[in-house]
Amino acid sequence: MKTIEASPSRAGYVLLLAFLLLAAGIVTTGYFYYRNHERHHRAEVERQLSAVADLKVGELVQWRKERLENGDVFFKNPSFAALVRRLFEKPADEDAQRQLLDWLGKYPTHYDYDQIRLMDAQGVSRMTVPAGRPPVSSVVSRRIPEVLRSGQVTLLDFYRNEHDQRINLAVMVPILDEQGGNQPLGVLVLRVDPGTYLYPFIKRWPTPSLTAETLLVRREGNETVFLNELRFQTNTAMNLRVPLDSTTMPAVQAALGRDGIMEGIDYRGVSVVAALRTVPDSPWALVTRMDTAEVYAPMREQLWLVVILIGALLLGTGACVGLVWRQQSIRFYRERAETDNRTRRFATVVKDSNDAITIQDFEGRITAWNRGAELMYGYSEAEALAVNIERLTTPDKVAEQEDFIRRLIAGEAITSFETQRVTKDGRVLDVWMTVTKLMDDAGNPIGLASTERDITARKQAEEKLKGIETLLQTAVDAMPVGLWILDAEGKIVTSSTAAQRIWTGVHYVGVDQLGEYKGWRIDSGKLIEPHEWAGARALEKGETSIEEEVEIECFDGTHKIILDSAVPLRKSDGSIGGAITINQDITERRRAEKDLRRFATVVKDSNDAITIQDFEGRITAWNRGAELMYGYSEAEALAVNIERLTSPGKVAEQKDFIRRLVAGEAVNSFETQRVTKDGRVLDVWMTVTKLMDDAGNPIGLASTERDITARKQAEVALHQSGLTLQEKNAELERFLYTASHDLKSPVVTVRTFLGYLEQDMAKADAVRIEKDLRFIRTAADKMARLLDELLQISRIGRVVCPPVRVTLRTLVDETLSTVAGRIAERGVKVIVGEQDVTLYGDQLRLAEIWQNLVENACKFMGDQKEPRIDLGVEVREAEMVFFVRDNGIGIDPHYHAKVFSLFEKLDSKAEGTGLGLAIVKRIVELYRGKLWVESPGQGQGACFYFTLPGAEDRSQET
């Protein structure tokens, strides 16, 4: 059916066209093949003709040259000329006669001369060898004077001897008497018979040929004269003459001096191919020619072969094409027969169909009407053929049907629609109409076939059912859970939108295909078999299942957790007529629960204290971190108010923070303090979150607290050590600076005064010398002392003696004995306080404090009449404060800070390097103490105070 042709004739045309094209191709190819072959052959023949012509021309030229050379043997030969004169003068001279006969007699035998004749200047023959031939031709006699005049050996061209009618050529040699002033004596004539050599040579053809021949011609006036005997005509030499205007003749063209190949008509009136040549230094022209017929004879054979081959090919092609055409027609007719059969079967079906099948033309005239139509519409076939289709159309559907048909004819792809028809008795039927466009064989639309089915009953039932279904579906879709209804066979017939939402789609399948719905039991993890679904069990076993937890794979590949419930639907007789399945998506709930559980673990195990309290401060949750941090167990904590945990100073702060948080301010973290069960105060970093109930009302506070006490302490320590480091650095800088400056000063002094010393020694100024030396000594001493004390300073804190327990009294006694000299010198009264304490540290260093301070006090006594120093210890704010008080010159409050600096001296005239107090300060600081001075002003004494917390002996205290 697939490749059926429209008709066998059309296929025939196609095949015929194919055959013609093939035939044309074959003929063209054959023609070109033959032409090509012919061209080659013709070229070959032309080459042959040219070669023969060139060969013969060369021979002729050679021949002519030889003849003239024969003449030259006699020409200007003095002995020959002498013999001739002797004979002419004395014709009876026998000796001369004999000698000449001997000479000339050789020639006719050796060469192709048939006669040699000696003639005198008057044209009289004097000697002839051999003798007894016809007399000399007048042609020769006439030429004698000319030859003598020219004095040249001359070849006399073909001529006919009028006496014997033979054709000859002649070499004419003038004989000149050199002794007699070149007097012409006569002419020697060597007569040539062309029949002996020349004609046979010209006639010869190197290959066998039926028509090939050579022509030798010359021009005489307006005529071409043939000089040789021809192959196909006798007695032509010197007789056949053709006028020069017969230009189609190759001989004429040759006589006119043309060279090359030409095609023309020869003396017989036959078409020939000819090669033309002129013979140099001669009046001759040569033609080699062959009949065109002979040239093309082999080609005719070829032509026949080609024609036969083409004919065979054409026959073969024709046969093939014919075979194909025959097969196609056979198939066509077979298929048409089948189609006819089918059509007949169809016709039966059509006729007996319960559907109304009608055919109408475009004017609406009914042309066919089957039994179905009769039954459906009540018109008999005869009645129907007489009416227009519009009779059957309900008035309101006329336009619709017309429009449908118009669009169908226009080519739109529409075939079926639902419409209405009127029966003969006036009932209106709903019909389902399928219309087909009918075409004639040429493809023009000629009418419409219409199949109409009465769907009135179905429509009514549908309407009714649709009402119920809509109601049901609305109810089902309104349910928040997914609902499925299975019919008695177990096929899913209804699903709610919620059900489709859960499964992301719906497959309306039977129980056996329930495997398309994939689910696993949550408790066992097992895949649910088709008949194991709750719905299937309800249907097949009457089981009622409530909320089985199932993990499903939806149709889009996602996984969900659902609760699957099912109940069987029982009919009035108690048998099962279906089942209802209900699905509830609990994925979100499960996930939230899981998150919550995970979260709870995190909270429980956190090292941070995490607590929940209500707005009255009642603790409602207390994690392990809180237990560890604050010491209250969970049970204890739940019984107390949060305020128990708050350090007293922070209650207001925390309340304020919570107030602002509840009010909605974006605050959640702050640093505060908490009190543990055992009373320790902790620094904590507190993050508070407002807790809401589901309605969004605040119900409490969740608080995360981190113990940052250690961190805070570390921070403070770090800050302090940073400060100390800064101070140390500054001091070091100061120290280096002042050391370099103060050390440089004595160097300047020493070197400068050494210069002066030299000058003064030169002048022998004893007073100045002594003065110079004193300055130098003083400077050197100062340097030595400076270096000493710098060393001392650098040792403080670096060189440490093991700490010992020592009383203040011991240290003071030691000091007083060391500086006893100075005290005595100034007559200072020293009073030591009653109170004694024990210190723990490097005894030597500690002693240095008192030594320096007492020394200083003595140094700055000024002109005090009753110098006095008080030593002791007193307690200020739970701190031991040591003091060394004097009643000396005192210190202006301006300079109180300055006195403790390195190298600082308030009085330039005072002895010392200014390092004493700096040393004291370093030692005191080593014991984490403070050193300061109090003095009301100049002349009112000074008191140095210091503390030594690092040297306090705790073991004695308790």
Partner 1 sequence: MKGEAIVILLVEDDEAHAEIVRRNFETSRIANRLMHVADGQAALDYLYRRNEFSDPANSPRPGVILLDLRLPKVDGLEVLRIIKADPNLSVIPAVVLTTSQAETDMIKAYSNHANSYLVKPVDSVKFTELMETFGYYWLAWNQKPN
Q: Is 789 in the site for partner 1 (CB under 8 A)?
A: no
Q: Is 599 in the site for partner 1 (CB under 8 A)?
A: no
Angle at the Cα of 632 (from 626 to 637), degrees rounded to 5? 85
Q: Which of 756, 818, 881, 938 binds partner 1 (CB under 8 A)?
A: 756
Residue pair 638/622 in contact (Cβ under 8 Å)? The answer is yes
- Structural element, H or E, at residue 825: helix 820-826
Contacts of 913 (CB under 8 A, 6+ apart): 742, 782, 785, 786, 789, 903, 905
Q: Is 909 in the site for partner 1 (CB under 8 A)?
A: yes
Q: Is 747 in the site for partner 1 (CB under 8 A)?
A: yes
Q: Is 735 in the site for partner 1 (CB under 8 A)?
A: no
Token digits for 245?
A: 């205007």
Residue pair 567/575 in contact (Cβ under 8 Å)? The answer is no
Q: Which of 164, 907, 940, 956 binds partner 1 (CB under 8 A)?
A: 907
Rounded CA separation 702/688 (Å): 6
Under rule CB under 8 A, how many of the chain's residues touch partner 1? Answer: 30
Nearer to partner 1, 855 or 904 (CB): 904
Q: Is 753 in the site for partner 1 (CB under 8 A)?
A: yes
Residue 378 CB-density burial (10 A; 0-12 exposed, 13-18 middle, 19+ buried): middle
Rounded CA separation 416/527 (Å): 47
The interface mask with partner 1, positions 682-721, x = CB under 8 A, is ----------------------------------------
Q: Which of 109, 122, 474, 908 binds partner 1 (CB under 8 A)?
A: 908
3-state secondary structure of 169: strand
Which of the ranges 50-58, 460-468, 511-519, 738-746 carries the binding residues for partner 1, by CB under 8 A?
Answer: 738-746
Q: Is 742 in the site for partner 1 (CB under 8 A)?
A: yes
Residue pair 585/482 in contact (Cβ under 8 Å)? The answer is yes
Token digits for 856?
A: 């200083």
Give the number of other Cβ atoms within 10 Å of residue 953's Cβ.
15
Nearer to partner 1, 140 or 891 (CB): 891
Beta strands in 597-637 (DSSP E): 609-613, 619-622
Cβ 839 to partner 1 shortest distance, Å = 34
Q: Is 763 in the site for partner 1 (CB under 8 A)?
A: no
Which of the ranges 98-106, 681-689, 745-753, 819-827 carries the binding residues for partner 1, by CB under 8 A?
Answer: 745-753
The footprint of partner 1 on residues 648-687 (CB under 8 A) is none
Nearer to partner 1, 490 or 746 (CB): 746
The footprint of partner 1 on residues 208-267 (CB under 8 A) is none
Give the number of other Cβ atoms within 10 Å of residue 99's Cβ.
17
Cβ 740 to partner 1 shortest distance, Å = 8
Q: Which of 680, 744, 763, 928 binds partner 1 (CB under 8 A)?
A: 744
Which of the ranges 21-29, 158-166, 901-909, 945-953 carries the binding residues for partner 1, by CB under 8 A?
Answer: 901-909
Q: Is 779 in the site for partner 1 (CB under 8 A)?
A: yes
Q: Is 775 in the site for partner 1 (CB under 8 A)?
A: yes
Q: Is 95 in the site for partner 1 (CB under 8 A)?
A: no
Q: Which of 755, 893, 936, 937 binds partner 1 (CB under 8 A)?
A: 755
Which of the ranges 119-127, 143-151, 423-431, 899-907 carries the binding residues for partner 1, by CB under 8 A?
Answer: 899-907
Residue 463 CB-density burial (10 A; 0-12 exposed, 13-18 middle, 19+ buried): exposed
Contacts of 624 (CB under 8 A, 6+ apart): 604, 605, 606
Cβ 751 to partner 1 shortest distance, Å = 5
CB-based burial, 221-252: b 16+ in 10 Å, e otherwise:
eebbbbbbbbbeeeebbbebebebeeeebbbb
Q: Is 737 in the site for partner 1 (CB under 8 A)?
A: yes
Q: Which of 745, 794, 835, 940 binds partner 1 (CB under 8 A)?
A: 745
Cβ 782 to partner 1 shortest distance, Å = 9
Q: Nearest to residue 839, comparing CAs of 796, 873, 862?
A: 873
Q: Which of 397, 677, 905, 930 binds partner 1 (CB under 8 A)?
A: 905
Preceding peptide of 134 cis, ω within 30°: no
Contacts of 350 (CB under 8 A, 6+ apart): 357, 370
Nearer to partner 1, 293 or 754 (CB): 754
Nearer to partner 1, 600 or 747 (CB): 747
Q: Is 500 in the site for partner 1 (CB under 8 A)?
A: no
Rounded CA separation 948/924 (Å): 6
The footprint of partner 1 on residues 833-892 (CB under 8 A) is 892
Q: Is 300 in the site for partner 1 (CB under 8 A)?
A: no
Which of the ranges 227-235, 336-344, 433-441, 903-911 carries the binding residues for partner 1, by CB under 8 A?
Answer: 903-911
Q: Is 911 in the site for partner 1 (CB under 8 A)?
A: no
Q: Which of 335, 904, 934, 953 binds partner 1 (CB under 8 A)?
A: 904
Give the number of other Cβ atoms within 10 Å of residue 170's Cβ.
27
CA distances to 511, 521, 528, 563, 576 from 537, rounded to whole Å, are 10, 15, 12, 16, 11
Q: Is 900 in the site for partner 1 (CB under 8 A)?
A: no
Rounded CA separation 751/259 (Å): 138
Cβ 917 to partner 1 shortest distance, Å = 13
Nearer to partner 1, 83 or 783 (CB): 783
AA identity, residue 295:
V
Interstrand relation of 829-832 and 868-876 (parallel, antiparallel or unpaired): parallel
User: Which residues here bind partner 1, judged by CB under 8 A?
Assistant: 737-738, 740-742, 744-749, 751-756, 775, 778-779, 892, 895, 898, 903-909
